[in-house]
């Protein structure tokens, strides 16, 4: 019987492969002068800067591509980081200079969100916004977690009939005032009056659908109109972003806000869009958005975008942040409203 002895020596073919790859990377990195190599990277850097600075120019006529880009616009910063690493590997001066453009554009758009928030003022209103999920198996735990944050107002969406009494009972000790219309509600430490539903249902939805609420909060600093809304979901498909119902509902909500007679107004809700998404322009064009913080809220397992929003009129939305995960597929967000 013959035995095959393994000497432990590497195959010449296997050993040569890493050496060839290393030589190729070395040649790729040092080929040409610093001002001639990396021209492709430089072009990509300029294109990325163009997408950041002129994202509104990307058309929405085909697959809502503009809105799709704007939903993930901050993540173009990661593209810049990757290109920076490649430029350093290539030792490309032209690419490094070109990368100053997207860095400047990203900093202009989002750099302010990274700054620390100002200290809470004596007249701030703390609010929490949360889509509690109609599949949440622990509504009591969710309600307790939100109350533990100590806000003045708590806005909730996807309130199903089975879970509503649990939220009411759990929040009642600290939030004696609340208003619910359809599947959205607002809990408050301060009295609420004049609660009524908002008609923000798109025409294409035929089933029962009530996702808007308007009420008045009587704070120590005066009356504030409070709106709670849950806009229709969007879907990413092969054809692009399906957001027509969301956009239509945002338009209806924008008209209601424009018609609101009270100067001070806050909007809390799952708007299924980021503040950069032009589909929410009927709202963002009329209201102030958060000045500090990214607070990506969805999906809770790996947050990619903040689609839960806090906006205000005749008031400023200060630092916005996420709260720990609950039994929902969204993260709660908390924000300070500076009433002035």
**pLDDT reading at 5 higher than 50:** no
**Confidence at residue 2, expressed as pLDDT on a 0 to 100 scale:** 44
Q: How far is CA 26 from CA 30, 86, 93, 281, in A?
A: 6, 13, 17, 49
Q: Is the peptide bond before 175 cis (omega within 30 degrees of 0)?
A: no
Q: CA 227, CA 209: separation in Å to the nearest integer?
A: 17
Average model confidence (pLDDT) across the chain? 91
The model's pLDDT over 16-30, given as tens digits with 9 standing for 90+, comes to 666 665 555 555 455
Q: pTM of the prediction? A: 0.87
Q: What number is the average pLDDT over the span 38-54?
A: 96
Q: What percent of the chain has pLDDT over 90?
A: 82
**Confidence at residue 140, expressed as pLDDT on a 0 to 100 scale:** 98
The model's pLDDT over 186-200, given as tens digits with 9 standing for 90+, comes to 999 999 999 999 999
**pLDDT reading at 244 higher than 70:** yes
Q: CA 21, CA 133: separation in Å to the nearest integer?
A: 50
The model's pLDDT over 281-301, given as tens digits with 9 standing for 90+, comes to 999 999 999 989 999 999 999
Place of tokens 């929040």: 171
Q: What percent of the chain has pLDDT over 70?
A: 89
SS3 readout for the chain: CCCCCCCCCCCHHHHHHHHHHHHHHHHHHHCCCCCCCCHHHHHHHHHHHHHHHCHHHCCCCCCCHHHHHHHCHHHHHHHHHHHHHHHHHHCCHHHHHHCHHHHHHHHHHHHHHHCCCCCCCCCEEEEEEEECCCCCCCHHHHHHHHHHCCCCEEEEECCCCCCHHHHHHHHCCCCCEEEEECCEEEEECCCEEEEEECCCCCCCCCCCCCCEEEEEEEECCEEEEEEEEECCCCEEECCEEECHHHHHHHHHHHHHHHHCCCCCEEEEEECCCCCCCHHHHHHHCCCECCCECCCCCECCCCCCECCEEEEEECCEEEEEEECCCCCCCCCCEEEEEECC
Q: Answer yes or no: are the C-beta atoms of 158 and 132 closer than 8 Å.
A: yes
**Confidence at residue 68, expressed as pLDDT on a 0 to 100 scale:** 94
**Confidence at residue 265, expressed as pLDDT on a 0 to 100 scale:** 98
**pLDDT reading at 1 higher than 50:** no
């Amino acid at each position: 019987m013959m035995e095959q002895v393994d000497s432990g020596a590497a195959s010449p073919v296997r050993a040569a492969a890493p050496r060839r790859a290393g030589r190729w990377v070395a040649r790729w990195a040092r080929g040409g002068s610093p001002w001639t190599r990396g021209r492709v990277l430089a072009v990509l850097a300029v294109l990325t800067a163009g997408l950041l600075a002129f994202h509104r120019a990307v058309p929405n006529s085909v697959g809502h591509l503009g809105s799709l880009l704007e939903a993930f616009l901050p993540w173009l910063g990661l593209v810049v980081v990757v290109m920076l690493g490649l430029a350093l590997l290539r030792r490309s001066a032209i690419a490094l200079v070109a990368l100053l453009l997207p860095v400047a554009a990203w900093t202009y758009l989002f750099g302010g969100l990274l700054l620390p928030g100002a200290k809470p003022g004596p007249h701030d209103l703390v609010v929490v916004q949360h889509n509690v999920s109609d599949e949440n198996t622990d509504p009591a735990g969710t309600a307790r977690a939100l109350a533990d944050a100590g806000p003045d107002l708590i806005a909730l969406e996807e309130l199903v009939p089975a879970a509503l009494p649990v939220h009411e009972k759990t929040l009642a000790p600290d939030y004696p005032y609340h208003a619910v219309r359809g599947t959205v509600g607002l809990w408050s430490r301060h009295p609420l009056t004049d609660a009524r539903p908002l008609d923000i249902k798109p025409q294409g939805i035929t089933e029962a659908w009530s996702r808007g609420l308007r009420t008045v909060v009587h704070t120590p600093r005066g009356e504030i109109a409070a709106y709670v809304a849950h806009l229709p979901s969007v879907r990413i498909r092969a054809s692009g972003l399906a957001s027509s119902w969301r956009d239509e509902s945002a338009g209806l909500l924008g008209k209601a806000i424009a018609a609101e007679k009270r100067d001070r107004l806050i909007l809390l809700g799952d708007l299924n869009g980021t503040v950069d998404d032009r589909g929410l322009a009927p709202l963002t064009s009329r209201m102030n958005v958060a000045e500090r913080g990214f607070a990506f809220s969805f999906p809770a397992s790996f947050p990619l975008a903040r689609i839960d929003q806090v906006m205000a009129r005749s008031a400023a939305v200060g630092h916005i942040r996420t709260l720990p995960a609950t039994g929902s597929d969204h993260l709660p967000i908390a924000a300070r409203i500076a009433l002035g």
